[in-house]
Structure 1
Amino acid sequence: MIVKFLQENTIAAFLLLILRLYLGYSWLMSGWGKITGGFDSSGFLKGAVTAPIQGPEGSPVYGWWTTFVENFALPNARVINLLVPWGEFLVGLGLILGCFTTAAAFFGVLMNFSFLLSGTISHNPTDILMGIFIMVAGYNAGRFGLDYFLHRYVYKGRAAREPLGDV
């Protein structure tokens, strides 16, 4: 019932627009601050390796993530230094413009989970929750945005290419 409401209702589309704008602004400003202010992820990545989230027995809860950060992310910190700021900025832009909204929300949720797995908490859980609502809503989340026009263009083009069938 709630999924149908999120995916089909015009009131839900308006509420999702407000949610999109709020979350998008947060992502956009975070990314822009990193792009213009200089960003170095190496300290954060080293902290994720040296002080991982630990369970009651003292072993890392997400050992696979710690291994990933240590063996891939940390050696490629220069790439991460580009991906994080530009990823945040583009997620924010996509959400604000309502362009590829579901994909933007997905990548925002993915980044939030990456931050959580690395040991930071901040506002990541609420951002994940908002991102999930946007992803579940699908097209309706971008109805009041560029997705409306993209959707019309894609389906108009598809209808023109489909055969007429049996006559």
Structure 2
Amino acid sequence: MTNWLRTNKIAAGLMVLIRIYLGWQWLDAGWHKLTGGFNAAGFLQNAVNNPVLESGTKEKLYPNFVAFLDHFALPNAKLFNVVIPLGECLVGAGLILGALTVTAAFFGMLMNFMFLLAGTISSNPWLILFGTIVLMAGPNAGRFGADYVLLPWLKAEWRRLTHRTPKQPPLNPKGAVG
């Protein structure tokens, strides 16, 4: 099944539909936050005050994540007010356009997991399911998108940068070096 997702043109076509759906979910959420006066402080404070607890106990299920929210995210809420909606819009645009598709899906899933760890179920499991399918398809997910041009260009640039050979001295007119 994974090989089919990673190589088949029909799978690539289905990935377009999944990418557009998933991308629209991210772009819509990010756009509403960018234009609607989003403030992460309330969400972060609620996640710290009401952490996810282990079933039947009062033990925090994710104490390290709650500490991260309390000691880093909450004091830097203004940064998160920009990073979250901007990240959601970039993930959405990347998925819709098929540009850096796998990267966009990965960062979308990362945000989904962060929201889940903070105690928000919402559409996160559904979006993780679709993100996983995109990740499993790999580069084939962007085959009918900007990745068709972008990925070969990035690979060529990477090779050029990492396999640089020292400049050769110019040849004199008779073909000898020097």
User: Structure 2-normalised TM-score?
Assistant: 0.86
Q: In the alignment, what sits opposite 2:45?
A: 46
Matching residue of 1:73: 73
What is the identity, as a one-letter code, of the residue corresponding to 1:73? A
AA partner of residue 74 (structure 2): L
| SS of match in other structure, 1:58 | coil
Aligned to 1:122, the other structure's residue is in SS state coil
TM-score, normalised to structure 1's length?
Answer: 0.91
Partner residue, 2:117: 117
Shift of 1:157: 5.7
Correspondence for 2:4: 5
How many residue pairs get aligned? The number is 162
Alpha-carbon separation, structure 1, partners of 2:120 and 2:154: 40
Change (3 A) 1:147 1:48: same
Partner letter of residue 80 of structure 1? F
**Unaligned regions of 5+ residues in structure 2, if any?**
165-178
Residue identity in the other structure for 1:50: N
Structure 2 matches for 1:12-161, cutoff 5 A?
12-55=11-54, 56-155=56-155
3-state DSSP class of the match of 2:23? helix
Structure 1 gap segments, 5+ residues each: none
Moved over 3 A (4+): 154-163
Determine which structure has more spread, i.e. the larger CA radius of gyration: 2
The CA distance in 2 between the partners of 1:155 and 1:38, in whole Å, is 39
Choose between structure 1 and 2: higher helix proportion: 1
CA shift, 1:132, in A, is 1.1
Displacement after TM superposition at 1:158 (Å): 7.0
